A and B are shown apart, each in its own frame.
Chain A
Amino acid sequence: MNTLQTISDVRDRRTTASELTARAMETMRRREPSIRAFITIMDNAISSAERVDGKIARGERVGMLAGLPVAIKDNISVRGVRNTCGSKMLANYIPPYNATVVDRLLEEDAVMCGKTTMDEFAMGSSTETCFFGPAHNPWDVSRVPGGSSGGSAAAIASGEALAALGSDTGGSVRCPAAFTGTVGLKPTYGSVSRWGLVSYANSLELISPMAPDVLGVAILLRAISGFDEKDATSVDKGVPPYVEETTKEPGKFKVGVVKEFFAGGTDGRVAGRVHGALDKVVEMGGSVEEVSLPSLKYSIPTYYLIAMSECSSNLSRFDGLRFGFHLDAKPDEGWDELFSRTRALGFGDEVKRRIILGTFALSAGYYEEWFVKAAKVRTIIMRAFMRAFRSFDILAGPTMPCLPWKMGEIADPLSMYRMDIDTAAVNLAGVPAISVPAGLVDGLPVGLQLIAKHFDEAKLLRISYAYERATGFPDELPVN
């Protein structure tokens, strides 16, 4: 059953929001001990669902997400529910306000069921840097679910939620979608409000929808997109009717298969599966041609230099005084000492590494050499995408260069950074991209990544949906 059918079943009283939510909560009780998709389970989910059922019973108008149990990544603020960002630094932080996207979910009668496991401050590709412990991949619990929005993806793949919000800074929604056989879409920068998202790398990241199927992502995107005066980078542009757009026939379209996405480090089995998926795209009426964007070979250093620089500035707010992890000052301890001690104990290793490297890249004497240089290479990468979109409707390749790895298998930071090789450039350019299931290799999911030009989510969704109908992959989730 697709997400839209689920919602219309609630509206037409074939089922109830309470029933869907109770089922999700029951699945959580059963599966959380081995999946650990959630940091906080929202016990008020059932009463929220009952409120939606009440509206339906009274014949009142209900929103487009009526009764849908949605999981929220733990860096998106929900008033009154702790928002940890997977960090000791915010283990007890309770936001006094809702993120704009959360207000929009509530206006559309979604049922929020919990806050999901993530890499600390969204810095990672596996959820292994989470202070509260990692989430596990429902396809094989000895493996990672991808990251940083791994909890959101694992919740969907295990049936603990029917949709989720994540955030995507360099692939953090597309990577876990690929690793769990679910769908995740990183929208055009500026199209979804970041108000209430805890900033990590503000010029790159965006709150992003995740679901078991393309229509689920389309309806969530419709609900959360749109102008927000509280976010200075929000774009004042109408929101297309994404669900209607998604179900239109894609017609003829040209796909550019990006050569650099199949470079040396790519697992041959993953590449083979993605080529198989592209054969399906040809059957659907797409024409497929190889295209080379040579500057993509610089995406990892460019992305990380910018992300780390922005992070060193954004995370300077964590001083342990106004909110978050707090230490009492020792006698005669000044601001600097207390601040430095608090941050030493409150942040994990990866977060410290990125803040310190970012501080270095922004410091006098190195700013031009590293940060500004990366910002210039970013321009070149962005132009390469724009040029490619003059010849192609969408670009394609694997979402991840490998299969989900075993917990603890990648210990070296640089090896972990390299896992973002196919996803990070999208954030540098600010273009939208989606990961859809491309089938299995040795019982583990592989993701196909499709990329479109700025504000062309409708085309991305239309082609993805046609592809999904041609393959039927969402029925394969390990939800039991």
Chain B
Amino acid sequence: MPGGSKRRQFDDSDARRYAALSKIRLDRDEEARLASELVKILSHFEQIKEVVTEDVEPTYSVLDIVNRLREDEAKGPLTQEEAIANAGEKKDGYFKSPKAF
């Protein structure tokens, strides 16, 4: 699979798979172009694998603050009108979506 030099390269079907997971529709030409770009990019990124990271903790945030919460008091939320003002389609004061099922 993608990445490792001993494994097969990222190909059009991978591009299709991860585009689908990203909810971005691609046409065939875009899939092929993206696959070839990602092969190049990933082979450059591959170099981080040579770094020895045993016993190294990952950093997801440079701060040591965690889960700071505020008092549970209502503070001037948006009005319903403001909240839906940017929606492309609305009905009876709600967002209108396509069918989900």
Q: Interface residues, chain A, CB within 8 Å of chain B?
A: 92-94, 96-97, 189-190, 203, 229, 232-233, 235, 295, 298, 300-302, 304-305, 312, 316, 320-324, 326-329, 333-341, 343-344, 347, 352-353, 355-357, 359-360, 363, 365-366, 369-370, 372-380, 382, 412-414, 417, 428-430, 454
Contact = CB atoms under 8 A, between A and B. Distances in A.
27 contacts: A96-B82, A203-B61, A298-B47, A300-B44, A305-B48, A316-B23, A321-B89, A321-B95, A321-B96, A321-B97, A323-B86, A326-B89, A328-B88, A328-B89, A334-B99, A340-B23, A352-B22, A355-B24, A357-B41, A360-B18, A360-B38, A370-B3, A370-B45, A372-B58, A375-B58, A378-B59, A382-B59
A455 B19 CA distance: 40
Interface of B: 1-3, 14-15, 18-26, 34, 37-38, 40-42, 44-49, 51, 53, 56-63, 65, 67-68, 70, 78, 82-89, 95-100
A16 to B, nearest CB: 34
A353 B34 contact: yes
A376 B53 contact: yes
Shortest 6 CB-CB distances between A and B: which pairs?
A: A326-B88, A430-B62, A375-B58, A323-B86, A376-B53, A301-B45
A379 B58 contact: yes
Given A189-B62, A334-B99, A352-B19, 9 more contacts: A190-B62, A321-B97, A323-B87, A337-B25, A344-B24, A355-B24, A359-B22, A375-B59, A380-B56
Contact of A334 (B25, B51, B56, B100): B100
A380 B86 contact: no
A322 B48 contact: no
Contacts of A428: 59
Query: Chain B's interface: helix, strand, loop or mixed, by majority?
Result: loop
B15 to A, nearest CB: 7
Given A298-B51, A322-B86, A365 B1 contact: yes
Contacts, number: 170
Nearest to A340: B25
A340 to B, nearest CB: 4
A242 B42 CA distance: 42
A338 B1 CA distance: 30
